[in-house]
Each structure stands twice: as C-alpha cells, then as structure tokens.
Structure 1
Amino acid sequence: MTRHRTDRVTTVEPTRTREAVRADLLAVFRIEKASFAQPWPYRAFERFLGIPGFLVADVDDGGETGAIAGYVVADSERQRGRPVGHVKDIAVDPSYRGRGIGATLLERSLDAMYRQQVGRVKLEVRESNEPALALYRQYGFVHRSTATSYYADGEDALVLVREFD
C-alpha cells in the first residue's frame, strides 16, 4: 500500500493490517517500550487478544513473515445505552515512523468501530504529543476535555472525540 499525505511525503512498504495473535505480543511489547516512558505491561496486551480492535501492521520486509511495524488497541463499551469506541493505545516502531503506518492503523480501527455502529470514539493523548495530535485532528478528532495529571509524571491528557455522522 502507498499512502500520500499533503503534510509530508509518506511511502509505506506493502503493509497488511490484521488482528493481533499471541505470536505478535513480544513485538508489540517491544514497540510499546520503545514508544512510551510508562509502557503498558506485557500482560495488558494478552487481555486484548481476540478483540477485533487489537490490530497489528506487518510490513513485507522481504522475510518469510512480515515485521510488526505497529499496533492499535481499540474497543467499545456501552454508555447510556449506546456503544462508544475507545482507542486505548497506538504505536509504531521508531524505525517505521513517518511512513503512514499509524494513520493506516487508526483508519482501520475507526472503520471497525463504525461497522460496529459506534457513534462516537474517544482517546486520550499527552498534551505534548504534537505528532499524535496532528494525526488525530486529521481524522476528525476534536478536543473535548482535559484530564489533569493523567499520566504518572503529572502531564495532562487531552481527551479527544470523533463523532461519526
């Protein structure tokens, strides 16, 4: 797949997005640790196996199986009788960043939630994470509220929401 965006040139090797399986967990955990100062524990990912919103992007790097380049964990829950989606975690291996993989993962997770008739999707993002904020805005997310001292280091989280039409 090749993606073109106006903010920067992005080219992605042939990428397949699929549901995560147990064999992916070590790669997912390595990406998590490389991406976040306060990573989720390995066991947290085990809990999401089998959930349609736990997706990985594997990139054809010429090997027998694709390298895991990124992942997204998203699910939905009922609030006031209506399903609400939640993008809980998304990350791309540092060596694959800037190639549109995060956008592809986000897009696929939003598509999956839309098919589940989710009317709204929310997520939390560090106030200082400008690249992520730009991506989320590109996909129609807007700032709804601020969670003060949400992260262990005291940084606030912006709560972003996207309404489906």
Structure 2
Amino acid sequence: MRPAIRPAVAADLDAVSGLDAACFGAEAWSTVSWSSEFARADRVILVADEGDVVGYVVLLVPPVEVDVVELLRIAVRPEERRTGIGRQLMAAALERCAGRTVLLEVAAGNESAIALYGGYGFEQISRRRGYYAGGEDAVIMRWRETA
C-alpha cells in the first residue's frame, strides 16, 4: 500500500514530532518548535500517511511569488526508507512549488539525501564549511522548475 501524501493537520503534531525525534535524535526539533511550525501561515507540512504518519516534508513558502521556497526538513521512518516514500514526498513538495526556486541544505555526508535531491534536478550551488556539529559541511542545493 502506497501512503497518501496530504497536508498535515493539528492532530498530526505528536506523530510528526515523534518521527522527527526518531530520525534526527539530538538534532530533532522540540515539540514546542513543531507546534510553532504547524501554526505558521508560511509553512507547508505534508505527511505520508499509511494509517499513521511514516514521513513528512516541511517547506517555508513565502507569500511573494518571486521569493525562494526553502525545503526545511524531510524525513521517513527508518524502517520505511528506500520504499519510495521520500520520492513521493519530494514530488508532492515540488508540485507545490511550481514556477518557484527551491533551496535546501544537507549534510555533505548524507549521500542518500543528496542522491534523492539530485534525482529531482537539485544542483549544488554552495557549501558551508564546518556548518554542522562535529565540523561537517553543509551542501546548499537549488531546484528550478524546467519547462
């Protein structure tokens, strides 16, 4: 069964926060931070739902069309990875960004994420040296819809 990709609702807060903790550990956003994300008008949070939340993606979508969209976070339950859920979430997120430029940052060592983004046409445009705890670089990637 393929998960349904749908906008998150307030009832998803605990599931998304718990999934974030499972995926990001010490780097996870707090429940208070997640509550704030759910309340913001400039956020689009999509979830992959298989009866429970198995993945999510968070976009910062400024109201001004010429401003870039930022892909802030994407995660899939560890036991559900490599099943296509991440690709489904990316496709749905980029569909929401039609005609706009999307930026994201990713840890340089996260090869599977970089491959996922590259498969959607994201290109590396910059690097932040020593950005993450432990000194790992951040790779900045950009997506522009092509005609």
| Fold agreement, TM-score > 0.5 | yes
1:87 and 1:49 map into 2 onto residues whose CA distance is 15
Q: Report matched runs for 1:120-131 at 5 Å.
A: 120-131=101-112
Match of residue 41, structure 1, among 13, 21, 30: 30
Q: SS where residue 153 of structure 1 aligns? A: helix
The answer as to whether partners of 2:13 and 2:38 remain within 8 angstroms in 1 is no
Consecutive unaligned residues of structure 1, counting only runs of 5 or more, are: 1-12, 60-65
Q: SS where residue 30 of structure 1 aligns? A: helix
Is 2:86 the counterpart of 1:102?
yes
**Please, what is the CA RMSD of the aligned residues?**
1.8
Residues 41-50 or 19-28, more deviating: 41-50
Change (3 A) 1:144 1:78: farther
Tell me the TM-score normalized by structure 2: 0.89
Runs of 4+ in 1 over 3 A off after TM superposition: none
Q: Report matched runs for 1:1-165 at 5 Å.
A: 13-37=1-25, 38-49=27-38, 51=41, 53-59=44-50, 66-77=51-62, 82-114=66-98, 117-118=99-100, 120-165=101-146
How many aligned residue pairs are there? 143
The answer as to whether partners of 1:78 and 1:84 remain within 8 angstroms in 2 is no
Q: Percent identity?
A: 36
The one-letter amino acid paired with 1:150 is Y
The answer as to whether partners of 1:145 and 1:158 remain within 8 angstroms in 2 is yes
Q: SS where residue 127 of structure 2 aligns? A: strand
Residues 26-35 or 148-157, more deviating: 148-157
Return the index of the structure with the highest Cα Rg. 1
Greater helix percent: which structure? 2
2:7 and 2:63 map into 1 onto residues whose CA distance is 22
Q: SS where residue 99 of structure 1 aligns? A: coil
Consecutive unaligned residues of structure 2, counting only runs of 5 or more, are: none
2:48 and 2:131 map into 1 onto residues whose CA distance is 28
Q: Displacement, 1:14?
A: 2.8
